[in-house]
Amino acid sequence: MIIIKQLDRELNEKYYFHFCAYEGINEQKRSCCTKIILTIIDVNDNSPKFQHNQQLPLIINVSEFSPINTELIQMKAFDPDEGINGQIRYTFSKWTLNDQTISEIFYLNPSNGSITLLKQLDYEIRTNYELQIQAKDLGLNAIPSYSTVIIQVQISRLPFTQVKKCGPVPAGKHRKLLEHGSSIPTGNFSDFFR
């Protein structure tokens, strides 16, 4: 048996064959048959993919009156690989951890990607936070994926959280706005998540 085409476990995990050997001719012909199941072993050839478009940031409007332990959003990624190659861990990126206030105010659950409040927000102290989330599987030679969440602190009491998809924003534009403490323009945002 010779493999003549690239195998992909995510497309087809098992192949079934029925082999027979024959000898003799006519009435004296004899045969022996056997079944073979070929199982494709997984390799870590996929990176996690977030459910939304990873190229665009998510915008979350959060009231400064949101209580501690409020879940702001759950970042979900999927990896089609098997076993530890498909088990995902979520962390803040090194770039995000350079801002020490992020880890003091927000908790990222490494198992399910849930982001919760550890500390009360204060609009007068800071109006914007940019969180870069890393999703990485536990397999060998894992390649991480990244997604950005921009949290905008609101003065209003309700709703506690409001999530929007962000339309096209020129690279680095939202980061520049955050550095200057400005609000993200709302004209580029489209549908609410349902």
Q: Considering the domain boundaries, does residue 24 fall inside one?
A: no
Q: Considering the domain boundaries, does residue 10 fall inside one?
A: no
**Poorest-pLDDT segment among 57-61, 139-143, 153-157, 175-179:** 175-179
Range(s) of the domain holding residue 85: 49-192
Q: Considering the domain boundaries, does residue 21 fall inside one?
A: no
Per-residue confidence band for 76, with pLDDT thresholds at 50, 70 and 90: very high
pTM of this structure: 0.71
Q: Considering the domain boundaries, does residue 102 fall inside one?
A: yes
Q: Considering the domain boundaries, does residue 94 fall inside one?
A: yes
Per-residue confidence band for 159, with pLDDT thresholds at 50, 70 and 90: low
Q: Considering the domain boundaries, does residue 171 fall inside one?
A: yes
Per-residue confidence band for 162, with pLDDT thresholds at 50, 70 and 90: low
pLDDT for position 178: 38
**Count of structural domains within the chain:** 1
Per-residue confidence band for 7, with pLDDT thresholds at 50, 70 and 90: confident
Residue 28, burial from CB neighbour count under 10 angstroms (0-12, 13-18, 19+): exposed
- pLDDT digits 0-9 by tens, 166-192: 554 444 444 433 333 333 333 333 333
CATH number of the domain that 66 lies in?
2.60.40.60
Q: Considering the domain boundaries, does residue 139 fall inside one?
A: yes
SS3 of the chain: helix, strand, coil, percent, to 5: 15, 40, 45
Name the percent of the chain lying above pLDDT 90.
56
Q: Considering the domain boundaries, does residue 185 fall inside one?
A: yes
- Beta-sheet strand order (sheet of 88-92): 88-92, 128-137, 145-154, 58-63, 161-166, 189-192
